[in-house]
Structure 1
């Protein structure tokens, strides 16, 4: 499968996102899903995949610390596309243990604590969501952050044993918003308030003019550590 991902990346490099999605959704029908954080890029992908295959699995992770606006967007998106977005939650027992041992806002204390919180609230639920899949669709773009410049259109996800498809990898932020406006795609109103990237509420702030689009995520850390573990690439 690793070799397959390399071949497919060469085949689809530079191709149109809709064209790439159409091929993968047909080729891997029943074994492919869109993992949505409800961000602008994932809303674009939701609109695209629903045009191609309304039966495709779309899921999101509810960490228990999301913004109200994100929950409201889940509902609006479900109604707009008449689609049941599957929601995966962290283990209550694991969350209780972590919070009891290290505090409710442990992530501010150290990178290790923050990564543990991300593991329990995101990584473990994601692994359950991946059951039975061979491909997961993501909204990564190369120019989002320093940690994503080397990502490819099609990659082998070593940690999860899946092909990872990034149809918008070469899109600009302007491309994303032009698509949203042109197609009336529902999006999080926090994007209009200086939040280009939206995650858990305690770990996300609005950015200042001129800052990197992901500067508001885990803003107390260095740019090189600003991933939750979902998209880390093996060196």
Structure 2
């Protein structure tokens, strides 16, 4: 007989523990296993007569546990009397998979809907559903629609056009919202920043340098939330299995970059397979880009894509993709082969397989700026803008050619103007804050995130950048901590280069 894949062979002691006592599979009871098994796989357990006795899910770090002969190897989901494990002669369809798991999917749906309703009953804030056109946000939208329409509670669908979305996604979102009869409940916002112009300032985005999300996506969302009163509940399709950071975040969290937003994920504990089966059960139209092989739907310049997806993006986007890679190559001084390998997707913390050849790209200028402690400021308006931003952190005394900064009535820095440059003498722990403030004053990309964040309406947008009203500002500092230029200025050599030049 043909042997099915993903098997684990156990001894009689483990068989008794599973079938009689209903316990999970532990390392000492494993005699052999299929070499193709990976963490998170569903497997079937066989006894010494090669009879199937249970099915379960492989635990994290199972290979190390096996080598140490201790720890749980598989979480047993179901067990039964021993019987032959056979490969089905007929291939199952997705419809068969949905039918086989229908009761489980309905249970997951009820649990998510109850969670959504309980959260909304505790708050009178407006409700948004963030929809990107991907599978996770679609599942979340369907769940929120069912949960809140049954309560008679109003909600809005929020879509952000970053300017670097796939054209297929834009068209799909219009179609699916029309099919779900949610056109009148849709809020569409667009990025205030041209991604490719911001690229000249920040440099190419990377997995560990994602300035693009803050400037092109979160800023217009923050502005939309401010227009709704400054507070809202936002349902977002995030799942704990996507990353360690999201696992730590939990199913409910407060926005760091977007003030006033409480993020909620009703599919936080769902697996990718759970999401797909649920969408198949609902029979909704899916984004056509999935059928072209993309695993995740987002911006087409996203550094989170893998190498296979890069090939697919090349086919979809064409000349624009080639132009983007050329710009990346020139900006980071990468060879053609390094670009093909996707080394641009990391800047500071490359994966282990890449660390042996890690390049410390473009750090010289940032280090030079840190040591020299002087920047060029040619225009008087730029200097005034710098002082207005420093006033959000310190008490500022302008005495003509010299500016003194006070923190709790103690002098911590002196800025001296010499023609077209400023010499900064500051305590080391304050120098970085002053540098960030200088970058914010001179390299503003007009993303509007600070404008949406300020609780006192003290920020105005000018042609050359922002201006802080000293009469309205209470020096809370919120506008600084939500500014992408402030956050990334110490990591972006392109910003350092601009300050030097």
* TM-score after normalising by structure 1: 0.71
What secondary structure, in the 3-state scheme, does the structure 2 residue paired with 1:107 have?
Answer: coil
Unaligned runs of 5+ in 1: 1-14, 210-216, 231-235
Q: How far does residue 164 in structure 1 lie from its aligned partner after superposition? A: 1.6
1:179 paired residue among 271, 274, 278 = 278
1:24-39 map, 5 Å: 24-28=119-123, 31-39=126-134
* 2:217 equivalent to 1:118: no
What secondary structure, in the 3-state scheme, does the structure 1 residue paired with 2:234 have?
Answer: strand
Unaligned runs of 5+ in 2: 1-109, 310-341, 351-481, 483-501
Higher strand share: 2
Is the 1:30–1:56 Cα contact (8 Å) retained in structure 2?
A: no
How many residues align? The count is 199
Aligned to 2:162: 63
Q: How far does residue 38 in structure 1 lie from its aligned partner after superposition? A: 1.8
Pair 1:177–1:106, CA change in 2 (3 A):
same
1:1-235 map, 5 Å: 16-28=111-123, 31-54=126-149, 55-84=154-183, 85-91=186-192, 94-95=193-194, 99=197, 102=200, 106-107=203-204, 115-131=210-226, 132=229, 133-159=231-257, 160-203=259-302, 205=305, 208=308, 220-221=345-346
Q: How far does residue 39 in structure 1 lie from its aligned partner after superposition? A: 1.2
| Structure 1 residue ranges, 4+ long, deviating more than 6 angstroms after superposition | 222-225
Q: 2:347 & 2:112 partners in 1: Cα distance?
A: 31
Q: Deviations over 1:137-163 (max 9, x none)?
A: 111001112432212112222442332
Rg comparison, structure with higher value? 2
The range that moved more, 192-201 or 81-90, is 192-201
Q: 2:143 & 2:264 partners in 1: Cα distance?
A: 14
Q: Which has the higher contact order (CA 8 A, sep 6+)?
A: 1
Is the 2:166–2:299 Cα contact (8 Å) retained in structure 1?
A: yes
Q: 1:106 & 1:181 partners in 2: Cα distance?
A: 40
Q: How far does residue 224 in structure 1 lie from its aligned partner after superposition? A: 7.0
The range that moved more, 80-89 or 166-175, is 80-89
Q: 2:112 & 2:243 partners in 1: Cα distance?
A: 20
Q: 1:155 & 1:101 partners in 2: Cα distance?
A: 30
Aligned to 2:453: none
Aligned to 1:7: none
